[in-house]
Amino acid sequence: MEVIKQVSTIREKMQALRCSGKRIGFVPTMGALHEGHLQLLRASARENDITVCSIFVNPTQFNNPNDYKLYPRTSEQDIRLLQSVNCDYLFLPDAQEVYTQQSLLKFSFGELETVMEGEHRPGHFNGVATIVSKLFHYTLPHKAYFGQKDLQQVAIVRQLVQALSFDLELVCYPTVREESGLAMSSRNERLSSEQRQIAADLYKALKMAAAMLPEKPVQSVKKEVADYLKSRDQIELEYFEVADPATLQPVQDVKNAKEVALCLAAQVGPVRLIDNLLVNLNEE
């Protein structure tokens, strides 16, 4: 695996590969890699000639400077993991390389960024769209791979790809979970072993909501989920929403819905976590 830190080098390499007819798969990450990332990398290796991973903790998508400062950085371990799944290139730039000057560009994603993460983290998706656009320009992928855990981010990137006519296919893979049900996340590295077990209650809440939805009104389900998590030690619920999986707008009645997305964010000890569950309401 070749490690590249310069934008000019990665761009030159990818242009040459593309011109030679090689298909490029790309997995953007912020490092502290786990099985969820490895699932995406294995898929890319199966489906493409070349697999590129980026590791970049993007400062422009953090609302909380302390969160950015404390985000796990485990580059040596990450490199070993990337080699184990036959990644061909690692793009590992620093912030000065990516942001040579302050970006004044502002993205607007309409209603999609007024709910959930967009509502609670103003400016977050502008930072996401900026860095993803840059990385797509640098790596020129045929396919880009994302995880379902960041469901709203995937929707934002899908809109970005369509609006700016990026010549690539966006691929989304299901969330990978720990044995307890906790969604794998780089942020889990900051949880103590006790907090990790407590955080598994987030998935339990989603499963509980999925079981209740066919029988109870949406508002009742939302109240029961909020009450359940309020009763759990060290969990502070930020939001729980029943949403349309395509638009992520709130759903008030599931009577005519075929599928809904259950989405939540919560603080567990010192760490903010998100999770979601897609529920097929037509299942018998």
150 is in an annotated binding site: yes
Q: What is the pLDDT of residues 229-266, one digit of tens each?
A: 999 989 999 999 999 999 999 999 998 899 999 999 99
CA–CA gap between residue 221 and residue 213 (Å, rounded): 7
35 is in an annotated binding site: yes
- Whether 37 sits among the annotated catalytic residues: the reply is yes
Specify the pLDDT at position 102.
84
Residue 31 assigned as binding residue: yes
Mean pLDDT over all residues of the chain?
Answer: 96
- 110 annotated as ligand-binding: no
| Residue 104 confidence (pLDDT) | 85
Average pLDDT over every residue of 222-230: 97
CATH homologous superfamily for the domain 2-173: HUPs (3.40.50.620)
Check the annotation: does 83 bind a ligand.
no
Q: What is the pLDDT of residue 92?
A: 98
Which residues of the chain does CATH 3.40.50.620 include?
Answer: 2-173
Confidence of residue 283 (pLDDT cuts 50, 70, 90): low
Q: Which residues in the chain are classed under CATH 3.30.1300.10? A: 186-279
- Taking the domain 186-279, which CATH number applies? 3.30.1300.10
pTM of the model: 0.95
Q: Residue 75 annotated as binding?
A: no
Residues 167, 141: Cα–Cα separation, whole Å: 8
How confident is the model over 78-103, as a mean pLDDT?
95
Reported as a single tens digit per residue, the pLDDT across 55-70 is 999 999 998 899 999 9
The dihedral region occupied by 4, where left means phi > 0, alpha psi between -120 and 50, and beta the remainder, is beta
134 labelled ligand-binding = no
